[in-house]
Each structure stands twice: as structure tokens, then as C-alpha cells.
Amino acid sequence: MATEALIFDVDGTLADTEEAHRVAFNLAFERHRLGWVWSRADYRQLLEVTGGKERIASYIDLLPTSAPERRRLMGLVPVLHADKTRFYTAVVQDGGVPLREGIARLIGEAQDQGCRLAIASTTTAANIHALLTATLGPRGLDLFAVIACGDQVRAKKPAPDIYKLALATLGLQPEQALALEDSVNGLRAATGAGLWTLVTPTFWTQGGDFAAAGLVLPHLGEPQAPLHGEPGCLLKTAGWLRFDELCALASPPPPLNAVQALYRGLPS
Ligand code: XBP
Ligand code: MG
């Protein structure tokens, strides 16, 4: 079945955003004089919890505090996250977070072939707006037919809900689309919705169990920066992942029936 939509995760997939998120979290904690500082090692661990508000709450749960202090800190989560989002979007709007290799190229190739684009992300609409307008221009959001994100679903990744919402809004069956992700949580969410999934891990997610992925690449590559060892290792047609090859990988031709198999390879 032909691929009618690419459904992109945002953080780690469209752009390597998590360092900017980590700095923004620490700025919010500093603004509220909490004395919390998330190191890179802390944050890699904390990223196992998707959603910034949920991540802060999971950190509070680990603190050795009294029940009243825990309740007070939990009451701060919404304002901490709102401040963090302001710090994050400011960095992104200043152009501090570029798209990953090959993303702009793949989006253009998909558009040229009439393939729709969608987003399925745990992050907030504000963060997505900032990233897409900073990297794809004032009409960056308009390139995406559907943007499913943040609190639109109660169960965040690894639950499949956000991908099911994106598919339902696109009016597509899973076989008619494919997902691009960077993390184990994202892969589980996308495959849980029945989607063939490409994974391009980052420093924050590398080393995860990506066995359920249809393909794992370090990034999408570019003509001027082909992937090491490609074509020939995982890719057939070029040293970078082209839209046509991605679709062929995601929807392999139907198996030959008995009669076709008899005549396979014979001169027509
Ligand atoms: C990754 C996430 C988000 C970001 C932080 O989202 O889990 O929580 O880490 O953004 P994606 P928020 O599904 O795009 O990979 O603070 O807005 O949640
Ligand atoms: Mg991600």
C-alpha cells in the first residue's frame, strides 16, 4: 500500500532538542531557587519519562522530602513547566536548534511526491510552533497536515495514543503511513499504533532496544554528507535516505503468488 503520510516525532527526530530542554529546565529551577540542577547524565535517565511536567513530577517523587513538602513541590510543577517552556522557546526562536541532517530534504521530497506530513509528539504546541517557524520559516507549521502533540492525549508515549490520534485525523490506516522516531518510548508508541518506524537515535537515546524498528540509521544523511558505508549496507539507492527508498522499505511489494513465483526472473 502506498505511503500517504510521514508522521514525524519532534524532539530528537526533527531536531536534536534535548540539550536545549535540559538547559531550560535548569533555568526554571534556578528562577524558583530550588537548588535542582539536572546534569546530562541525570537528564538521560529522566528522559525515560516522557512529557516535561511528568518528568519534573518523577524527579520530585525521588526526592527525600516530607509529604507536605512533596505536595508543595508538586503544586509548583505547572508554573515550573510554563517557565521552562518560555526559556526553551526563546532559545529555539533565536535559531539555537537546527533541524537534523536530511530532515528539510526529506520533507521537500515528500511534498514533491504529494505525500502529506504530520507530527506526533509529546512536547507542547508552543515548542513545536517555535521550532517549525524558526527552522522552516513563518509558514513552517502549514507544511504539516496534522500536528498531534502534548496534552491532546492523556496517555503519552510509549502509549500509542498520540500516533492513533494523528492517523485518525489524517483519515489513514497504519499501512498507509510511516513514523520517524528517535527513542524507545517513541518506537513503542508508533509500532503500538501499527506503524512501520524509522529510528534515528541521538546521544540522548542511543543504545536503546530498537529491534522493533523497520530501519535504524544514525541520521538521514545528505548528498553532500552521505552516511558512512552507504549505499550497500542498509541503503540501496544512495548514501542518504531518499523518500522513494524510505517508502519502498516501509511498504515492500506484496509477496509473489504461486503462479508469479513460477515465472519470476524468466524473460517476459
Ligand atoms: C520528547 C519529550 C518531551 C521533551 C520536553 O517529546 O518527551 O517531554 O523532552 O518537552 P517527543 P516538554 O515525543 O517529541 O520526542 O517539556 O514540552 O514535554
Ligand atoms: Mg523524540
- 76 occurs within a structural domain: yes
Instruction: Return d(Cα 253, Cα 256) in angstroms, integer.
Output: 8
Verify that 76 and 123 share a domain, yes or no: no
pLDDT, position 85: 98
- 161 occurs within a structural domain: yes
Look up 11 and say whether it is catalytic: yes
The CATH number of residue 201's host domain is 3.40.50.1000
- 128 occurs within a structural domain: yes
Verify that 11 and 126 share a domain, yes or no: yes
Q: Residues with Cβ within 5 Å of ion ligand 2?
A: 9, 11-12, 182-183, 186
Instruction: Using the mean position of ligand 1's atoms as its centre, give its distance from the Cα of residue 53 in Å.
Output: 9
Compute CA distances 20 → 64, 137, 170, whole Å.
Answer: 28, 20, 30
Confirm if 119 and 169 have CB atoms less than 8 A apart.
no
The CATH number of residue 41's host domain is 1.10.150.240
Verify that 54 and 109 share a domain, yes or no: no
pLDDT, position 106: 98
pLDDT, position 267: 63
Catalytic site residue from 9, 16, 161, 182: 9
Instruction: Using the mean position of ligand 2's atoms as its centre, give its distance from the Cα of residue 76 in Å.
Output: 25
Instruction: Using the mean position of ligand 2's atoms as its centre, give its distance from the Cα of residue 47 in Å.
Output: 10
Verify that 125 and 159 share a domain, yes or no: yes
Verify that 192 and 106 share a domain, yes or no: yes
Look up 83 and say whether it is catalytic: no
Verify that 164 and 232 share a domain, yes or no: yes
- 70 occurs within a structural domain: yes
Task: Please identify, among 93, 118, 153, the residue that sits at the C-terminal boundary of a domain.
Answer: 93
Q: Which domain holds residue 171?
A: 5-16+100-250
What average pLDDT values come out for the chain (268 residues) when binned by 10 residues?
Answer: 94 98 98 98 98 98 97 98 98 97 98 98 97 97 97 97 98 98 98 98 98 98 97 97 97 79 70
Quickly list H helices, the chain. Answer: 18-31, 40-46, 52-62, 67-93, 103-112, 125-136, 161-170, 184-192, 243-250, 258-263
